[in-house]
Chains A and B, each alone.
Chain A
Amino acid sequence: MGRQERFSSRWGLVAAALGMAIGTGNIWRFPRIVARNGGGAFLIPWISALLLWSIPLLMVESAIGKATRRGTVGSFATILGRRFAWMGGFVALCTVAIMCYYSVVTGWCLRYLAAAFANRLVGVDSRLFWETFVANPLQQSLFHLAAIVIAAGIVHGGVAKGIERVNKVLIPGLFVLLAIAAVRALTLPGAAAGLEFFFRPNWSTLADYRVWLEGLTQSAWSTGAGWGLFLTYAVYSRTREDVPLNSLVVGFGNNSASLLVGVGLFPAVFALAPGLGLEPIQVLRESGPASTGLAFLWVPRLFAVCPGGRFLMVVFFLALSMAAITSLISMVELATCNLVDAGIGRPRAVTLTAALGFLAGLPSALHLSFLENQDWVWGLGLLVCGLFFAVAVRRFGVRNFREQLINASGSGIRVGRWWDFLVLFLIPAEFLLLIGWWFFQSIVVFEPHSWWNPFRAFSLGTCVAQWGLGMGVLILLNGMLVRRFLGGGKAK
Chain B
Amino acid sequence: MSALGIAMMVVVLGGVWGAFVWLLVLVARHAGGSAGDDSLLRRNAKKAS
Complexed CA–CA distance, A245 and B20 (Å): 11
Contact B8 A201 (CB under 8 A): yes
- Count how many chain B residues have C-beta atoms less than 8 Å from C-beta atoms of the other chain: 31
- Pick the contact of B2: A47, A198, A200, A259 (CB < 8 A): A200
**A245 contacts across to B, CB distance below 8 A:** 23, 26-27, 30
* A43 nearest CB neighbor, chain B only: B12
**B6 contacts across to A, CB distance below 8 A:** 199
Complexed CA–CA distance, A10 and B32 (Å): 8
Contact B41 A412 (CB under 8 A): yes
Binds B, one of A248-256, A450-458, A474-482: A248-256
Chain A, interface residues (CB within 8 Å), range: 20 to 34
Whether A40 is near chain B, meaning CB under 8 Å from some CB there, is yes
Whether A195 is near chain B, meaning CB under 8 Å from some CB there, is yes
Whether A3 is near chain B, meaning CB under 8 Å from some CB there, is no
Contact A9 B5 (CB under 8 A): no
- Pick the contact of A200: B4, B39, B41, B47 (CB < 8 A): B4
Whether A349 is near chain B, meaning CB under 8 Å from some CB there, is no
Whether A422 is near chain B, meaning CB under 8 Å from some CB there, is no
* A413 nearest CB neighbor, chain B only: B40
Whether A5 is near chain B, meaning CB under 8 Å from some CB there, is no
**A279 contacts across to B, CB distance below 8 A:** none
**A246 contacts across to B, CB distance below 8 A:** 27
- Give the distance to chain A from B42, nearest Cβ to Cβ, in Å: 9
Contact B9 A412 (CB under 8 A): no
Whether B34 is near chain A, meaning CB under 8 Å from some CB there, is yes
> What per-residue 1/0 map shows which CB atoms of B14-48 lie under 8 Å from chain A?
01110110011011001110111101110110010
Complexed CA–CA distance, A252 and B18 (Å): 9
Whether A269 is near chain B, meaning CB under 8 Å from some CB there, is no
Given contacts A10-B36, A253-B20, A412-B40, 18 further A-B contacts (CB under 8 A): A10-B31, A11-B27, A47-B15, A47-B16, A196-B2, A198-B9, A199-B6, A200-B5, A200-B8, A201-B4, A245-B30, A246-B27, A249-B20, A249-B24, A256-B17, A259-B16, A410-B41, A413-B40
